[in-house]
Amino acid sequence: MATILAIETSCDETSVAIVKNRQVLSNIVRSQVKIHSFYGGVVPEVASRQHLEIINQAIAQAFIEANLDWNQIDGVASTCAPGLVGALLVGITAAKTLAIINNKPFIGVHHLEGHIYASYLTTPELEPPFLCLLVSGGHTSLIYVKDCGKYKTLGKTRDDAAGEAFDKVARMLKLGYPGGPIIDKLATKGDKSAFSLPEGKVSLPEGGYHPYDSSFSGLKTAVLRLVQKLETEGKNLVVENIAASFQETVAKSLTKRAIACALDNGLNTITVGGGVAANSGLRQHLSQAAATHNLRVLFPPLKFCTDNAAMIGCAAADHLNQGHISALDLGASSRMAIKDVMQLYGC
């Protein structure tokens, strides 16, 4: 049993949690979304400064809510990659400093492995192998989860991430940032069959299409053309209908790929992680399709889908239990493939 103090500062959420294996004792999340929405997206330098301003307060709060002290902590973790380097460095530096002062091991965590571990927080009995559909602002991947630290990416986006597509379409429709939750809400009031939009397919050199890879840039351009056409024709822009049609296309595309990938690889459980896991269209399509094919699908609650330190702590606890610890000179990386996660532990 490992009790971990975990820090997540890879993007625009400052989060600190205390986790005992798969049990969350506290999970403080301070979102910077209001500040960044002013600029229409995350400004890296602003994110770093905000992390710096609130990190100490969030650490103190995590201890208060968990009602623990340093004697009960076995290790200190922080997200090391991928993410905004300046933002990551705030969390890493805080975690390493606390590890040194309190004589605890330091565990660097891959952000995507954290998103995978979010499913264990609410389904502690879950065991690999399973398929994780990871859909966030920066990633869209289908990951074969073999074991702690052992992952294979079977499908990915060739251009925009799903969340990025939601954000860009929302910007086109002048709806605000982040776009995902706004489009999701509008879509409930719209007609999803109002417009027929193209599902992005990835061609294979030998002919046909990649069964698990996706592409959202064509869909995004199709929405832009549609908006321009409606404006030129002087027609009223019914944003609810555009939002519903766009969301339906994304949800169907992700569902088709996730189901095919699980079936082809003999996996009977699909977990979903990342901010787009909150999307009601995706939840509905994937749950229905999974039931049809006798597959289990797990959607963590929203607070564990979006960036949070509890998922980072959960991954770190598993690594620490297996003796995986990181060197104190481990730095931040803006990019790192999930297959390379064991590099964080010198393996």
Residues at the interface with ligand KG4 (CB under 6 A)? 11, 136-138, 163-164, 166-167, 178-181, 184, 274-276, 278-279, 306-307
Q: Closer CB to ligand KG4, residue 75 or residue 281?
A: 281
Distance from C-alpha of 28 to C-alpha of 62, rounded to nearest angstrom: 6
Residue of the chain from 9, 26, 119, 136 that contacts Zn ion (CB under 5 A):
136
Residue tagged 């301070």 (tokens): 30
Q: Closer CB to ligand KG4, residue 12 or residue 318?
A: 12
Q: Closer CB to ligand KG4, residue 149 or residue 300?
A: 300
SS3 9: coil
- Find the shortest distance in angstroms from Cβ 307 to Zn ion: 4
Q: Closer CB to Zn ion, residue 105 or residue 275?
A: 275
Distance from C-alpha of 320 to C-alpha of 170, rounded to nearest angstrom: 41
| Binder of residue 181, out of Zn ion, ligand KG4, none (CB less than 5 to 8 A by kind) | ligand KG4
- Find the shortest distance in angstroms from Cβ 234 to ligand KG4: 31
Bridge-based pairing state of the strands 23-31 and 13-20: antiparallel
Nearest to 314 by CA among 167, 147, 119, 166: 119
For 217, counting Cβ atoms within 10 Å of its Cβ (0-12 exposed, 13-18 middle, 19+ buried), the class is middle
Distance from C-alpha of 344 to C-alpha of 331, rounded to nearest angstrom: 9
Length of the chain: 347
- Find the shortest distance in angstroms from Cβ 144 to ligand KG4: 20
- Find the shortest distance in angstroms from Cβ 182 to ligand KG4: 8
The DSSP-derived string for 297-337 is EE---HHHHSS-HHHHHHHHHHHHHTT----TT----S---
- Find the shortest distance in angstroms from Cβ 314 to ligand KG4: 15
**Two tokens, residue 257:** 């790929």
| Binder of residue 166, out of Zn ion, ligand KG4, none (CB less than 5 to 8 A by kind) | ligand KG4
| Binder of residue 160, out of Zn ion, ligand KG4, none (CB less than 5 to 8 A by kind) | none
Distance from C-alpha of 253 to C-alpha of 212, rounded to nearest angstrom: 10
**Two tokens, residue 62:** 């995590």
Asked if residue 14 binds Zn ion (CB under 5 A), the reply is: no
Query: Going residue by residue from 250 to 289, which x/- string records binding to Zn ion, judged by CB under 5 A?
Result: ----------------------------------------
Q: Closer CB to Zn ion, residue 63 or residue 151?
A: 151
| Binder of residue 75, out of ligand KG4, Zn ion, none (CB less than 5 to 8 A by kind) | none
| Binder of residue 86, out of Zn ion, ligand KG4, none (CB less than 5 to 8 A by kind) | none
- Find the shortest distance in angstroms from Cβ 29 to ligand KG4: 10
Q: Closer CB to ligand KG4, residue 9 or residue 306?
A: 306
The DSSP-derived string for 271-283 is EEESGGGG-HHHH
| Binder of residue 245, out of ligand KG4, Zn ion, none (CB less than 5 to 8 A by kind) | none
Q: Are 174 and 231 in contact (CB under 8 A)?
A: no
Q: Segment contacting Zn ion (CB under 5 A): 91-99, 194-202, 245-253, 305-313?
A: 305-313
Q: In what order do the strands lie in the sheet with 106-110?
A: 23-31, 13-20, 3-8, 75-81, 106-110
Count the site residues for Zn ion by CB under 5 A: 2
Torsion of CA 30, 36, 38, 44, to 10 degrees: 150
**Two tokens, residue 294:** 């006798």
Q: Segment contacting Zn ion (CB under 5 A): 23-31, 184-192, 221-229, 303-311?
A: 303-311
Q: How many CB atoms lie within 10 A of CB 276?
A: 29
Residue of the chain from 307, 310, 312, 315 that contacts Zn ion (CB under 5 A):
307
The binding site for Zn ion (CB under 5 A) comprises 136, 307
